[in-house]
Amino acid sequence: DVKVTQSSRYLVKRTGEKVFLECVQDMDHENMFWYRQDPGLGLRLIYFSYDVKMKEKGDIPEGYSVSREKKERFSLILESASTNQTSMYLCASSPDRYEAFFGQGTRLTVV
């Protein structure tokens, strides 16, 4: 079974903090993605990576950055957390950019 693991289920951070969300997959997939899910907006792509050290902006990259130093790990960084970044964050990996396998999600609250 493909396993995508996100480091935290729930996080509460203060405005202005630098926040790291970690994601690890165990299936040697080339492709990894970070989405955020908000009611009425569905899943919106923040960043994705097709290979180690490579990254591309998704639809809503502002306020975020990513790091992929190893194939299995893809980190999302909130440079200076703001309240409008309160959301459910979902990491996914994919062997072929079609079917994505998701982690359990991180519910981030910025206060």
Partner 1 sequence: DQQVKQNSPSLSVQEGRISILNCDYTNSMFDYFLWYKKYPAEGPTFLISISSIKDKNEDGRFTVFLNKSAKHLSLHIVPSQPGDSAVYFCAASPYGNKLVFGAGTILRVKS
Least Cβ distance, residue 106 to partner 1 (angstroms):
10
Residue 27 CA to residue 56 CA, distance in Å, equals 21
Least Cβ distance, residue 22 to partner 1 (angstroms):
15
Q: Which of 66, 81, 90, 108 binds partner 1 (CB under 8 A)?
A: 90
Contact 74, 34 (CB under 8 A): yes
Residue 75 CA to residue 6 CA, distance in Å, equals 10
Binding-site ranges for partner 1 (CB under 8 A): 4, 9, 33, 35, 40-45, 48, 58, 90, 92, 96-105, 107
